[in-house]
Each structure stands twice: as C-alpha cells, then as structure tokens.
Amino acid sequence: MRRNRKLPSLWEGGEPGGNQTGTRRGAEEESGEKGGQDAEMSRRGSRTLRLAAALVLVGAVCAAPFAADVTLGHPHKSIAPKMDEAVLTVNNELDTEVVVSWMSDHCYQCLYQGLGVVPAGLGPGMPSSVDFTVGTQHGITLQLTNSPVTLELCTVPYHFGEHGNYSLWVKNLNDSSEVNCSMVINADPINGYLPILIAFLLLTGLAILSAIGGTILGLDVVKGILLQMTNAMETERLINSELGSPGRGVETVTDNILPSTASPSKRLRSLDTFRGISLIIMVFVNYGGGRYWFFRHESWNGLTVADLVFPWFVFIMGTSIALSVNSLLRAGSTRSSLLWKVVWRSLQLFIIGVFIINPNYCQGPLSWDSLRIPGVLQRLAWSYLVVACLDLCVARARLDNLPMEAWWYPGCEIILYWQAWLCVVVLETAWLCLTFLLPVPGCPTGYLGPGGIGDMGLYANCTGGAAGYIDRWLLGDSHIYQTPSSRVIYVTHTPYDPEGVLGSINSILIAFLGLQAGKILLHYKDLHSKIISRFLVWGLTLGIISAVLTKCSKDQGFIPVNKNLWSLSYVTTLASFAYVILVLIYYIVDVKKMWTGAPFCYPGMNSILVYVGHEVFEEYFPFRWRMANSQSHAEHLTQNLLATSCWVLISYLLYKKKIFWKI
C-alpha cells in the first residue's frame, strides 16, 4: 500500500537544478546559516512563496482537460463528491511542500499527472491540509514528491470507494528523516454497485416467474381448464349477442385451430434472439448503462460489456446473409437482381447512418465543415456490401446434391467457397501491411498505442497509429470522431474514429466468419449435433488464434484486443464468443425449444427500426427525463432500463401487428 523513502535533511544541501523546490531549499540553507530572526522571516517568506506556487499549480491543473479519475484540491474547503468520486485530504506535516501526482492503474505505461501541491506543515501535529476529489472507477497510484523531478517521497496504490472520505498523512517516521505515508478512512464509501445488483435480481426473478408461468400454462390439465373456460365464454357471448350465430361461431373456432394453408419460410428463432440480445445491450449502453464504467467502451486495450455487442451484431448479419441469399436463389432470383438490392440497401444504410450521428439536421441543413462520416450504420453498410457481394459470387442454390460422405465435406464451408476466402485473406493481409508497415509521420512504424500520456508520453499525437493517420488523411480531422474513449484515461487530444476506414476491413472479417455459421446451418440442415459440433470447433479455433495473438494478456500481446482499432485479435475473440453463445441459444431455442427467445427475439426481428429509433428519440420522454439526482447510479440505471424496456415493448407491439421495417 505504501513505500517509505528517506528524506534528506535540508541541512545536507542539494543542487538547485533549475526547479523551484531546489531553489527554495537553497534559500532555506542560506537563511539557516544567518540564524535568528532573519531565518524565521525567511522561512515564513519561503512558505508564502510555496503557498503561492501551490495555488498557481492548482489553478493550472484545474484548467487541464482530464476528467478521468481525479479532480483537484482545495485547501480547507469542503468538497461534495459527485458520481464515482471520493474525497481525499492530504495532510502534510513535513517542513517542505509536497507535490501530489496520480496515475490510473488502468493506464498502461503512463506518465503521472499532476493533482496539486500541499504546502509545508507547521510542524508535528500541525499539518497543512488540502482536499482533492479522486475517481473510484479504477484503482490509482498516488505519487508524493518534494520536487516534481528530483525526489520521490512515497507511492500509495489505492482503490477508493464512491463517496468515501479518506485522509493521507505524510509525516516523518519517529522524528527521523524517513517519510511515512499512511491512508486513513474517515467515512465509509457507499456501495455504488448495489442498484445494478438489485436490478439484476429483479430481472432474474421476472424471468423465473415467466418460465414458471409458461410451464404451468403448458400443462394438459391447465390447457383443458382454459379451453373449457374459453368455450363457456364463447357460448355466453353467442347467446347474449344479437349478431351471433352458431354457424359463425364454429367457423371462428375452426379458423383459430387449423394451421394456415400458407407455408411460411422456416425462420431460425435463435438468430433473432441473438441479434435481439446484442441490440438491446447496445441500446442500454448507448443510453448510458447506469453510468457504470463497464457499460462504457474500454479506453484502449481490453474489453467491457459495451465492446461486445456491435461485433456480435455484425456476426449475426453475416449469418443472415448466407441464409437469405440461399433462400432467394432457390426461389429463382437472379444474382444480378440481388446484387442491385445489396448495393441499394447498403447505400440506404450509409445515408441513414450519416444522418443519425449528425443530430444537427434538426436545426437545418447539415454543415459539411463538421460532418462526421464514419459511424455504426456506415460500418454495417460497408460490411454488408462486401460480404453479400462475395456470397453472391460463390453461393450455391442447391446443396442437397453434395456428397456428405466425401472426405472433404467436413471442410465444405471453406473448400466450396475458396474464392471468397481468398478475397478475405487478401483484405486481411492488406490490413496487416497497412497497420505494421505504413510509415506514419512522427510515430514509430507499427504503433498500436493510444498516444496521449501512454507509452510515457513519447507519442502523444500518434493515437491509433496507421488507423488514425489514414482517417485523418482521407477524411480530415473535422470529419471523424472528436471525443474518442482514449481521452478518458490517456488524455489524448487527437481526433480518432473507432469506426474508421482501416477497421472496416476487420468488420468485414467478422461478418464473413458469421457467414460461415450460416453455411454450416445450410449444409447440415436439421443435423443438430453436426451444427453444434461445427460451431464449437470454429469457436475453439478462433479462441486459440486469439490466445496466440494476445499472449493471453491485455497489453503484452503481438496484437492486443482493441475495439478502437478493431484489431485482428478483437475480431477473433468476439467471433469465438459469438460461436459459443450461438451454440447455447441454438440448442435451447431451436433444438430443445425450452425457450421461445422472448422478449429478445422481437427487437431482433425489427433491428433497424429499433436502432434508428433509439438514436433519434434518445432525448425525448419516455426515454429520458429530468432526474432529481443526476449524480445517482440508481436514477440513471432506472432511466436507462425503462428506456430500453420501452423499445422491447415497441418491438413486441410491432411484431403482433406484423410490422417490420426492412431496407
């Protein structure tokens, strides 16, 4: 928790190497030689200078734009902590001012950032105190020095709790020159995760009650009772109704019992369910996720819940492409007509995407000067266009004439479509070459870091390496995302777009991997054990590739998992997860029919409408309202869950009305 350092006596002297602390120390040594009243006056003057310097530093840091884990200090002033904040009081009993710096434990190879300066104390038992607010989302390491560049007194790693009150005491140990830094809890923090735990238990309880209710209603005895009640009510209605007739009543009942003569296409409920799960989590995250850090995108390397859903959505889109193209070809559609539909749909997606990520269209014509071009729907449009065109080139209308006993059939999803695989391999080779070989001015070749204060601040303007450079070169700084997640922890100032040009290649890859899942469903139709085993083989293979690329670490691998870059390991990891999750949902929903997929299947059937709608109406009631306490996780979580539930309800009502928005 702490590390003690021996503080040299001020009388030992020191080189005033051009910094204010060294200069003041030299002045104190000189005043010490004079002694008496002059020494005391000089010491007081020195303390006044130190206090002025502290105020200047605090003011400078207040102007700094970092808002991640720490805000600034106020001497002798009570601070009301906000959400994900705690109060830290630094008490300095040393006869020299202490410079307090901090670094997030979530920040890889980062520089310490200045927090403030605590003036020198008046002696033992008479400390100088300054209050600071510190972040509680991640652990931080505090560094205390008596000079910004020369001497470290101690470092204190600590994970503060939300709304807690803490004191850090800095004093000489047993009247010696050794410095001791100790943390004391003045007021216990609150449990900021209690609201989400309660919400999880409530939703789980509702799911259990729904399952129990469905099981009870499915019992033959209950069905018989309900049928008798229905017949009795129908008889009473016919007797009391002037328009009723026995003949008409029998016809109505018969129509409700007999299946429709139309044979609707068999739709895999598991795909709609998986798509709906991804979409609902995406909506919840976009609405704020209760303002919890794990429902926000990772600042750079690593994964949070928010980083999972978009690749899964792209994956399921690829699976749907395989099934849709095969169905249309068997129905007699020509490849040229389908190609035109693919191009037109991609163009529509792209245009809609440009509109919804530039919300100023409500105030008049869009301004080209600040128009953001990349975005989620734009990335979907590009991935859909490429993967659908590849599948149109190689898809087979008939699959029932292929010999399943042939030696090559276990690899049919690769062998039969090798031309498409070759194109994807070429695209991925292009990504690797551009990422690791493209020279970027002022940056090391192959740089994958966040820039800013990462990598010891050596490459501050190199955010994203080649990916960021290509976007800025092709699109310009003003047409890409201005507030990337890297600025939260790594304090970056360079615009960077996580849906940029270079990452689109890897979104094509995960859509293509989803396409292979569709091919497996087509080639092994109704052979559930074969489908499940093939899915598990793909999931395991992609997981092994991810383990090799990342070296099973967050930051030390060849290619770390990174959503901002849409790195190769990010795609293989999320595709591996997708195959495993699809196996589970497919087995439960389509094989065993233990679950209908409700309520997630409903938004999964109307995904474009739900996504566009939640973006357009985000700021309107009932999706958002003025909260009584905007610094409460509970209120944010309640608002975001209710807003997300509204879209589930809307999609259910649209399903009942058979309204589906297709592009």
Dihedral (C-alpha) 152, 156, 162, 167: value to the nearest 10 degrees? -80
Sign of CA dihedral 423, 381, 301, 576: negative
What's the one-letter identity of residue 339?
A: L
Sign of CA dihedral 384, 387, 393, 394: negative
Considering only CA atoms, which of 561, 537, 499, 552 is closest in space to residue 313? 499
Considering only CA atoms, which of 350, 277, 267, 268 is closest in space to residue 312? 277
Do residues 634 and 195 touch, judged by C-beta distance below 8 A?
A: yes
Q: DSSP letters of 496-550?
A: --TT-TTHHHHHHHHHHHHHHHHHHHHHTTT-HHHHHHHHHHHHHHHHHHHHHHH
What's the one-letter identity of residue 275?
A: R
Do residues 387 and 506 touch, judged by C-beta distance below 8 A?
A: no
- Rounded to 10 deg, the angle between the 376-394 and 607-616 helix axes is 160
Residue 207 has which token pair? 């799911």
d(CA 10, CA 26): 9
Instruction: Identify the DSSP state of 66.
Output: -
Active site residue 297: yes
Q: Which of 106, 138, 163, 297 is catalytic?
A: 297
Which ranges of 367-501 would DSSP assign to H, the alpha helix?
A: 376-394, 412-415, 418-437, 466-474, 486-490
What's the one-letter identity of residue 635?
A: E
Q: Would you name the residues annotated as active-site residues?
A: 297
